[in-house]
Amino acid sequence: MKNTLLIVVLLFMALLFTNTTNANITIDSIVTSVSTCNNNGSISIFAKTTEGSLLYSLTFGPVTYPVQTSSTFSSLPAGDYTIEISNTANEKIVTLKTVTGNYQLPDFVPLVTPPDCPDNSTGIIDGNLTSSSGLSPYTWELIAPSQVTRPPQSSAVFSALPQGSYTLRLTDACNNIQTKSVIIFAPANTMTYLGETVHITGCDTAEVNLLFQVSDDRPPYKLSYTAGGINYTTNTANVTYNGLIQVNFLTPNVHYGDAFTDIFVTNACGTRVYIPRINACAFVFSEMYSISPGPNCTSAALTIFGLG
């Protein structure tokens, strides 16, 4: 019984020695190439044997390869690999090698500039590539479904776009693709008439100030109106803007009690406000007080001279 056990142990040790010996295999060098994309690295093994021919395999790593006769492994992602080199005499060598690379899939965060007016094609989409993602050169395109499609281009910026929905596609040098939906919203473009003041200066000249609440300043402003039977139009009205806009104009040959009619104020986007009538109201004066007129020339405010 003891002799049988000894024979088994000796046979096992002999088999173990045969599987691990590498006296007849020599590695000259192992060369790796960087994985510049997600899986284009490689490992090339330069080795020789005095017994039969060599076989190669990757037994551990981001990907593994079974035994092959070629000494090159390609299409490898970055990472650490365990390489096994063996010969037909059942001898082998195990070694480690690293394929470097820091490639990240392409990504972007679109930036949108709306058109200056709702009906204008002046919107802009900037792809805004995420730093260190993908591999240059890149191509950008607006693909269907999109309000407007554009062919591939190297620039990430698309201009002269109307409001609407778009599909933006990015492709990098590794032929990896990232696609995102982008919306160009119509800009706010409202004008709300708040009121007016009218002052007669120099006896026969009216100074009119019109006040509007606006969503955004959209100059130039066109002003048209009728006073004293004469039609007036100016394409560049005198406007001040500070969250509100105030349209100021002077008109000659206007007296207390006269009226301005058919007043139109139009911004650069074509938004128009119509004011049917404004009266140049008379002030009632006395030694003690003045009455400032309200709407339609009714009394609105009493000011005592000397008290403000």
Q: Residue written as tokens 């965060």?
A: 109
Number of other residues whose CB lies within 10 A of the CB of residue 245: 22
* Predicted confidence (pLDDT) per residue in 1-40, tens digit: 444 444 334 333 433 433 444 668 999 999 999 999 999 9
* Predicted confidence (pLDDT) per residue in 220-242, tens digit: 999 999 998 999 999 877 787 77
Residue 295: DSSP 8-state: G
Q: How far is CA 124 from CA 185, 186, 189, 268, in A?
A: 11, 12, 18, 19
pLDDT at 9: 41
Q: Residue written as tokens 């960087």?
A: 34
* Predicted confidence (pLDDT) per residue in 164-209, tens digit: 999 999 999 999 999 999 999 998 889 999 999 888 877 788 889 9
**51 contacts 86 by C-beta, under 8 angstroms:** no
